């Protein structure tokens, strides 16, 4: 996602995942999605990834199996000793707004500064990116399909000619 005002992410660039492929990822898949998207942020976009694992809860503010799933994904990332900062579970406002992140997740290296948002399921991710695209006038580049041997990407049926050209350019960088 690319926002015109540059307020969130890195100068308005922020990656959303997974918005197109896995409807109900388990904790292991969420960890894989986070790692793949961090790699995409670095190799395709040129960002140093700061990954927020999103939930309706921040740091245990709610107890629910859906929260547990995101917490377990963070445990998996920690066990893997990944080379990018991540944190979760956290609400979207805590992930992208510094003042809220400092209040809800004090001491976090990611809260308020995330440039990669990992949604807990496809439904949330797809709804989130389309709302940001339409309400904020953000440009959505992708979806970028990750984890395959060769680059394969996707476009929404509602895409424009510019969307096609932008995704072709992204795909060319993946070859």
- pLDDT per residue, tens digit, the chain (175 aa), is 999 888 899 999 999 999 888 999 999 999 999 999 999 999 888 999 999 999 999 999 999 999 999 999 999 999 999 999 999 999 999 999 999 999 999 999 999 999 999 999 999 999 999 999 889 989 888 777 777 778 777 777 878 888 788 778 777 877 6
Q: Which pLDDT belongs to residue 167?
A: 79
**Distance between start and end Cα atoms, the chain:** 21
Residue 30 lies inside a defined structural domain of this protein? yes
Residue 55 and residue 59: Cα distance in Å, rounded?
10
At residue 36's C-alpha, the angle toward residues 139 and 65, to 5°, is: 95
Beta bridge partners of 116: 15, 51
Residue 156 lies inside a defined structural domain of this protein? no
Q: Which pLDDT belongs to residue 173?
A: 79
Residue 123 and residue 132: Cα distance in Å, rounded?
14
Residue 153 lies inside a defined structural domain of this protein? no
Residue 146 lies inside a defined structural domain of this protein? no
CATH number of 91's domain: 3.40.50.10750
Residue 49 lies inside a defined structural domain of this protein? yes
pTM of the model: 0.90
**Residue 51: CB atoms within 10 Å:** 28
Number of domains in the chain: 1
Residue 97 and residue 95: Cα distance in Å, rounded?
6
Q: Which pLDDT belongs to residue 139?
A: 87
Residue 123 lies inside a defined structural domain of this protein? yes
Q: Which pLDDT belongs to residue 106?
A: 96
Residue 46 lies inside a defined structural domain of this protein? yes
Q: Which pLDDT belongs to residue 104?
A: 98
Residue 93 lies inside a defined structural domain of this protein? yes
Query: Which domain range does residue 91 map to?
Result: 15-139
């Amino acid at each position: 996602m690319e926002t015109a005002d540059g307020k969130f992410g890195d100068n308005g660039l922020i990656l959303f995942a997974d918005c197109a492929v896995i409807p109900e990822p388990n904790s292991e898949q969420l960890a894989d999605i986070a790692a793949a998207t961090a790699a995409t942020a670095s190799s395709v976009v040129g960002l140093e990834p700061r990954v927020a694992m999103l939930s309706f809860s921040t740091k245990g503010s709610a107890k629910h199996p859906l929260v547990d799933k995101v917490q377990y994904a963070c445990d998996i990332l920690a066990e893997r000793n990944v080379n990018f900062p991540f944190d979760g579970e956290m609400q979207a406002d805590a992930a992208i707004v510094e003042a809220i992140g400092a209040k809800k997740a004090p001491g976090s290296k990611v809260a308020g500064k995330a440039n990669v948002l990992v949604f807990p399921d496809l439904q949330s991710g797809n709804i989130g990116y389309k709302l940001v695209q339409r309400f904020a006038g953000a440009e959505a580049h992708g979806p970028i399909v990750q984890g395959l041997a060769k680059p394969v990407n996707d476009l929404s049926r509602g895409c424009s000619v510019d969307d096609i050209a932008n995704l072709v350019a992204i795909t060319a960088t993946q070859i």
